[in-house]
A and B are shown apart, each in its own frame.
Chain A
Amino acid sequence: AQSVTQLGSHVSVSEGALVLLRCNYSSSVPPYLFWYVQYPNQGLQLLLKYTSAATLVKGINGFEAEFKKSETSFHLTKPSAHMSDAAEYFCAVSGLNKLVFGAGTILRVKS
């Protein structure tokens, strides 16, 4: 069965600092992996996805993630945080034609 673990339910960074949100997955088959972002009172929006092509995936708003099979990780990064990045972020793995989501990480950006 597929599962996702997001390390840290809350992450706080200063504006301009590196953003690193951690995601580890478990999958019995080669996974497809996703990062979604949720702004307050909105639905989820796809940031980026890994579908077995390039291991470094670039997404919207300057985010990127690297698939590391040996570490079963798919961490999300952004070189320089902006106030507008404050939101909740969800990592998800595709398995058995369904998505399995992590518990989410709330990103706070301090001015």
Chain B
Amino acid sequence: DAEITQSPRHKITETGRQVTLACHQTWNHNNMFWYRQDLGHGLRLIHYSYGVQDTNKGEVSDGYSVSRSNTEDLPLTLESAASSQTSVYFCASSEQLATNEQFFGPGTRLTVL
């Protein structure tokens, strides 16, 4: 069965370190998204991609970057981790832009000390 996976599931890091969260999907979807989930805010969009070599900023993109070198993967990098980036991160993918039904990964819980 097709799926979307994230790794690691849990990560503890220190302020100032670079961190990369992996996202891999086997749906063969062109569209991929990264969100962060914080209490009281729901899910907020960090970055998204509509295909290989395409990346776009979401509403909370400062301090984050992504790259899309193939269809299956969209890694999220925190250039210099800050305590404000402690959160749960979700990756998602979708086939259609119009209806935009998204399929979500299990999430990565990141703690920045």
Interface residues of A (CB under 8 A from B): 9, 32, 34, 36, 41-46, 49, 51, 90, 94, 97-99, 101-104
Contacts and interface: CB of A to CB of B under 8 A. Distances in A.
Contacts of B45: 98-99
Contacts, number: 52
Interface of B: 31, 33, 35, 40-45, 48, 50, 58, 90, 92, 97-107
- Chief secondary structure at chain A's binding surface: strand
Contacts of A44: 43, 90, 92, 102, 104
Nearest to B105: A43
A27 B97 CA distance: 16
Contact of A32 (B44, B100, B103): B100
A3 to B, nearest CB: 11
B48 A45 contact: no
A104 B102 contact: no
B100 A97 contact: yes
Given A43-B107, A44-B90, A103-B40, A97 B101 contact: no
Contacts of B43: 44, 90, 101
B98 A99 contact: no
Nearest to B31: A97
A61 to B, nearest CB: 17
